[in-house]
Structure 1
């Protein structure tokens, strides 16, 4: 994300999903790190920067996290976990018909990225700053989320509901619609999140129907 795009994220306070279990000082550290990592970048934020904003000594941070990388790993895990839980809940509440399940998944995917843009940026851009060991929990969750959509698409193709020219490419394009939201979407605009989510769902179905829509 370019510096100019990152600066957009400074205008809105960073927040963690309601389901986040951390509280007290640990939560403050995570929320502050989220704001700094999203607006400045992980590599351009030091432990001293984080401690200064929190008005703590750098040593106080190490009582909660072993390193800056561990702070990032926890944020990335939280983001992927919240996203996966949102997709699971949407799928559980959706009708069994594949088109309705795609609508539900895409709406949930869109909402999580639109309502937590800082977390979305950190999760998607900074994951690769982690060692494989620290990234593993988040990557496992990401793979599970990817599989949820892939399974619905496969079922829809078997039932002749979908006919995408290339299922994997189409699934990636559907996911990218949500991932790109922090780069352009402003929650204060006239386009509300529900309308945006519905628009993304409609676009996803058009991509998946392919020749069936012609």
Structure 2
């Protein structure tokens, strides 16, 4: 079996993609794609308005006609990332069975798949949130809290039904909530795993964290 590769700058080779149906048309969409690529590689503070405009093929004045500031561009990307993840979690839970085990598996798989499918968006949404002002970060932070409550709700129900044996629900919830984050940094077509393999394996790891039996393969 081929071993995974771990290239520090592998994200520079990943195509900048946004979820279907959420990208603005025309120049605004091109600006978001350019910002996604540059923010993922150089960070928000390492990217200038001039860099963004050059990447899109417009001048700075034209860019400002579409977005008042660089922070507004970042805020839109971060909002897109958080909305996509939260909606994905909700859809996965709606389709899952009623048991806490089935719901935890669905939630972890959805988190992993989103980070595997949109790695640049995940990296920017997670790594650059601190660059936003409190007011602009508030919508994303609200969605994070709602996602956190989804996790803790499943854990509490699993303990109540006896499906989970958890020594510390808070630590378990923190561990589960961060499981898929690094997938965006290493997963890609150059790796010896499919997205489904990664999602299924992480879901089994999650069940072990909560003291439940792994799902049958």
TM over 0.5, shorter chain: yes
Partner of 1:61: 63
Q: Residues 187 and 193 of structure 1 are in contact (CA less than 8 Å); yes or no, is this contact kept in structure 2?
A: no
Select between 175-184 and 110-119 the one with higher mean Cα deviation.
175-184
**More helix per residue:** 1
Partner of 2:149: 147
The number of equivalent residue pairs is 208
Offset of residue 190 of structure 1: 1.9
Partner of 2:171: 169
Q: Residues 34 and 52 of structure 2 are in contact (CA less than 8 Å); yes or no, is this contact kept in structure 1?
A: yes
Cα distance per residue 1:99-152 (max 9 Å; x no partner): 000000000000001111111110111000000000011111111111111111
Offset of residue 21 of structure 1: 4.6
Q: Residues 19 and 82 of structure 1 are in contact (CA less than 8 Å); yes or no, is this contact kept in structure 2?
A: no
Cα distance per residue 1:26-85 (max 9 Å; x no partner): 111101100000011111000000001111010111111110000000000000000000
Q: Residues 16 and 116 of structure 1 are in contact (CA less than 8 Å); yes or no, is this contact kept in structure 2?
A: yes
Partner of 1:73: 75
The equivalent position to 1:87 in structure 2, one of 89, 103, 117, is 89
The equivalent position to 1:208 in structure 2, one of 184, 194, 210, is 210
Q: TM-score, normalised by structure 1?
A: 0.93
Separation of aligned partners in 2, 1:153 and 1:102: 8
Separation of aligned partners in 1, 2:199 and 2:189: 13
Separation of aligned partners in 2, 1:122 and 1:78: 11
Separation of aligned partners in 1, 2:61 and 2:26: 17
- Change over 3 Å in CA distance of 1:145–1:19 after alignment to 2: farther
Separation of aligned partners in 2, 1:186 and 1:164: 33
Q: Residues 106 and 204 of structure 1 are in contact (CA less than 8 Å); yes or no, is this contact kept in structure 2?
A: yes
Separation of aligned partners in 2, 1:86 and 1:35: 23
The equivalent position to 2:37 in structure 1, one of 35, 38, 61, is 35
Is it true that 1:180 corresponds to 2:182 in the alignment? Answer: yes
